[in-house]
Homo-oligomer: A and B are copies of this chain.
């Protein structure tokens, strides 16, 4: 059962199955995390990864969100895929996929920290954690990670052309979709990289993974 608070208000665009929700989470670049601090809503963009039904969020140890434990969080991942151009202002829209996840903040267990950080690195650059040296204990200490156990989630998806009023259709004006394309470009090496150094395999995997 999907609890009422997690139910989309526009039912026809909603989905609640795990496969749909996981697919959106797994192909998003960053998430927007909502929490309540002093009765005030806060929304922060964060790197994340999903492992089973657990989400890991990553930030500096000293940030507010890393101190949360047991508090309610919301993580939303949105992929905008088009601007929908209709014959009336009213029917303009956007094509998108989003997953809205509700859950509780949980501090990491001792043995979970390195695995969670690897998952976050590998979410953006698949396989990257195995290409670099292991983290030092000092680095682990300085890097905050918090877990969210998924309690309820919904997806919302809009695809396809504008849905215009019949009365507006005999017009000869243009209607359709402007694609919004998000993709990774060719890597730009820094000044410390020797000439002709091949980019790591994880970079190519990321370019494939986040292909528009």
Contacts and interface: CB of A to CB of B under 8 A. Distances in A.
A187 B43 contact: no
A173 interface: yes
Interface in A19-44: 29-30, 32-44
B32 A187 contact: no
A208 interface: no
Contacts of A173: 131-132, 193, 197, 200
A124 B76 CA distance: 21
Identical chains bound together, number: 2
Interface residues of A, number: 95
A187 B34 contact: no
A30 B62 contact: no
Contacts of A74: 34, 40-43
A102 interface: yes
Contacts of A197: 172-174
Interface string A170-186: 00111111111111111
A102 B174 contact: no
Given A40-B102, A83-B206, A132-B88, A179 B172 contact: no
Nearest to A76: B43
Given A41-B36, A60-B10, A175-B193, A83 B162 contact: no
A60 B187 contact: no
A187 B180 CA distance: 10
A176 B186 CA distance: 11
A36 B41 CA distance: 6
A57 interface: no
Interface in A77-117: 78, 80, 83, 85-90, 92, 94, 96, 98, 100, 102, 117
A88 B182 contact: no
A190 B178 contact: no
Nearest to A5: B40
6 contacts: A30-B96, A36-B36, A43-B43, A90-B136, A176-B190, A178-B188
